[in-house]
A = this chain, B = another copy of it.
Amino acid sequence: MEANQFREFGKEMIDYVANYLENIRDRRVLPTVEPGYLRPLIPDNAPDKPDKWEDIMKDIERVIMPGVTHWHSPRFHAYYPTANSYPAIVADILSGAIACIGFTWIASPACTELEVVMLDWLGKMLGLPEVFLACSGGKGGGVIQGTASEATLVALLGAKARAIDRVKKEKPEMSDTEIVGKLVGYTSSQSHSSVERAGLLGGVKLRSLQPDDNNKLSGETLEKAIQEDLEAGLIPFYAVATLGTTSSCTFDRLDEIGPVCNENNVWLHVDAAYAGSAFICPEYRYLMKGIERADSFNFNPHKWMLVNFDCSAMWLKDPSWLVNAFNVDPLYLKHEQQGSAPDYRHWQIPLGRRFRSLKLWFVLRLFGIENIQAHIRKQISLAKYFESLVRSDERFEITEEVIMGLVCFRLKSSNEINETLLKRINGRGVIHLVPSKIKDVYFLRVAVCSRITEEPDMEISWKEVKEAANDVLSKTA
């Protein structure tokens, strides 16, 4: 494909994308295809000679769209949002053209330096303590990870390195293997599944603690677990607190957990994957009270802050634990400016990395802080509006306080009836939800996901829920 064809094809795609996103309400949110639908629609082999780009454009509607779940439709309320905005899409075109692999500073200085400064911009927008920011001149700084799962794993590996170093200083007779065998980390049973996976990957014990009656992990529970483990001769080293759990957007008691971690030399990682975006609105910062006690903090601008996946922002007070743990430094990656700017490959699991900070730069500049705040506030108000609709129908109950853009609710009835209700709702095909379960209580989740959602959209969603409920209850009555 030559440059002139690219100009045509690229511009045609820009128009296709604008049309797709502007008219997304007209599409069925969840596809009706069965597993294996796609294979018969295309040849068994790649073509020997080039196809025409015009044929690819036609095949998007024939092959791809019938199998797409439309995450950016206002009818999509599953999981949590994933971001999608025009500025981020355009930034990715530039990133794809520069296509540098920013594993060291010299491999593309702009790629590293824009990331350092964008993480400062973002940290300031959230009101993060200075100690996390590179502009403070201290050790701290931010980095873009692919996902919150990777951030959790990276923090665990930093914590592991720090703990091994500390214990070896106190007890030089212990081997690394002995120490690792005694390490124990902590999280709530309500934290994300990736925390458990990080423990599996890192080969260390992670205890899943019971949250309190409000589903929050308390300082007292953590303190008790740490004391038990210390008495048993184990080495507490890592804890994950969640601000906005996946199941129900619940906030652990960070203000209580922080002091317990600090007193016990336990690395505290704060996972605010979804809810972290809300901290750009000062009125929600009370939810991260105590953040100054954390060792690392992570949230996903690619969820709720209009930056397309992948862009998971992570800050560390002292990245040197990672840099030293991961430092495998072949000659072909050495360069003369080493040490005077971060070589981000040491801060992450993969070696390669794209120029992702361009997305942040474009989004922050083209929306401006005020419009991003307005977006967050609007989505929360839409969730509150949906909550009011649910509360207006006494057959339903709200199962968790609505703080962000998620409403957890259920019919005042058995789990089975609520499971039937969910199947009915998804089966009708107008909206899409997923369920969750806490302490054996099954409930439905409505997350406000699409950037273009308005009150009438929430009314349509509520009508779908209500009519499905009418249907289910009439059959069981």
Contact = CB atoms under 8 A, between A and B. Distances in A.
Contact of A309 (B101, B122, B125, B332): B101
Contact of A1 (B20, B201, B366): B366
A402 to B, nearest CB: 18
B84 A99 contact: yes
B71 A101 contact: yes
Contact of A42 (B117, B124, B310): B117
How many copies of this chain sit in the oligomeric assembly?
Answer: 2
A474 interface: no
Given A11-B14, A196-B328, A310-B354, A56 B113 contact: no
Interface string A25-57: 000001101111111001011111111010110
B435 A64 contact: no
Contacts of A21: 3, 97
A88 interface: yes
Given A97-B84, A153-B349, A247 B332 contact: yes
A430 interface: no
Interface string A112-154: 0110110011101100000000010000000000111110010
B200 A326 contact: yes
A371 interface: yes
Contacts of A117: 38-39, 42
B350 A109 contact: no
Nearest to A79: B332
Counting chain A residues whose Cβ lies within 8 A of the other chain, the interface size class is 35 or more
A308 B84 contact: no
A157 interface: yes
A94 interface: yes
B330 A193 contact: yes
B310 A94 contact: no
Interface string A185-212: 0000000011011001111000000000
A72 B99 contact: yes
Given A79-B101, A325-B200, A349-B201, A93 B368 contact: no
